[in-house]
Structure 1
Amino acid sequence: MIFRTATRQDLPAVLALLADEEKVVDPASVVIDEAYERAFEAITGDSRNEMLVLADDDGAVLGCLQATYIPGLGKHGAERALIEAVRVRADRRGAGLGRELFERAVERARQRGCALVQLTSNKRRTEAHRFYASLGFARSHDGFKLAL
């Protein structure tokens, strides 16, 4: 497996993963509009954001996540890593790819000097919650969102 920062060439595969977590979406069917292009450029152009992918030896993207590094005064001024948009291709789940993706992302945050890695997850994703707990994540806070 290859763990790396996503390139523009990976955008269709990443969007396919995000489109439907229950089935495999063909990256060729994904329409990439100006909004997606802008968002991807904003992520890749910002040193505090990364779209990370796990690919097989042939380059097929099997998993992704976005890491955002947040500066703060808590934890003695250390950054924290926020992980979002986590997906593993539906037909490849259960083989340890998600664990590998997370272990590598957490190590990346550790090397950067982050004091904490945090994430939020939809309350309905109970399988994902069990997975995060198996990685050592604790349910320590309640999250709130305001749709705009």
Structure 2
Amino acid sequence: MQNDIQIRTASAKDSDALLDLYAFLSPGDDRCTTARAAENIRRISQIEGSAVLLGLQQDKILTTCTLIVIPNLTRGGRPYAVIENMVTHPEARGKGLGTSLLDAACDRAWDNDCYKVMLSTGSTRPSTLSFYEGAGFEQSRTGFEKRRLPKRVE
């Protein structure tokens, strides 16, 4: 699907707009402070290859995800990447923006010699699972987690 999305990495100045967008991901979550968000964006960007990625139209942030590139001791020492906190504004869904952003995140991972990109979701909604499959992700593993905070409610 054609779209006119602009993709770039987040900076501290994007903190408030990002926090507004994350409210659609986890409506019941406590909101991060702007200062802490800015600091965490800075810290993520210091990890080689990693970034909070933004998808914008007309300078409005409509979709985001976080890509973390993790050094590795297997697969010949090639790193792997994890995508987290993927969300698209509800009014912008179904237009290919999220898929374009995920493609850009994967391209960034491949540019950093990652041998795989992992993404997990707590959602069981068929539309969410279909979205990730449509973006080229395969449901291929069994995941386990130990939580300190409760799961988000859909």
Normalised by the shorter chain, which TM-score bucket?
A: 0.7 to 0.9
**Which TM-score applies when normalising by structure 1?**
0.84
* Consecutive unaligned residues in structure 1, runs of 5 or more: 24-29
Partner of 1:106: 106
Q: Could you give the per-residue CA deviations for residues 78-117 of structure 1, whole angstroms, max 9, x where no partner exists?
A: 1111000001111010111011111111111111111101
Partner of 2:143: 143
Deviates more, 1:73-82 or 1:32-41: 32-41
**How many angstroms apart in 2 are the aligned matches of 1:72 and 1:22?**
31
Partner of 1:3: 7
Partner of 1:128: 128
Q: Could you give the per-residue CA deviations for residues 50-88 of structure 1, whole angstroms, max 9, x where no partner exists?
A: 1000111x3111110000001112222111110000011
Deviates more, 1:68-77 or 1:86-95: 68-77
% identical aligned pairs: 27
**Is the Cα–Cα contact under 8 Å of residues 71 and 77 in structure 2 kept in the other structure?**
yes
Q: How is 1:1-148 mapped onto 2 (pairs within 5 angstroms)?
A: 1-21=5-25, 32-56=33-57, 58-148=58-148
**Which TM-score applies when normalising by structure 2?**
0.81
Kindly tell me: are residues 88 and 73 of structure 1, through their superposed partners in 2, closer, same or farther at Cα, counting changes over 3 Å?
same
Kindly tell me: are residues 94 and 7 of structure 1, through their superposed partners in 2, closer, same or farther at Cα, counting changes over 3 Å?
same
**How many angstroms apart in 2 are the aligned matches of 1:147 and 1:31?**
19
**Is the Cα–Cα contact under 8 Å of residues 22 and 90 in structure 1 kept in the other structure?**
no
Give aligned pairs, total: 141
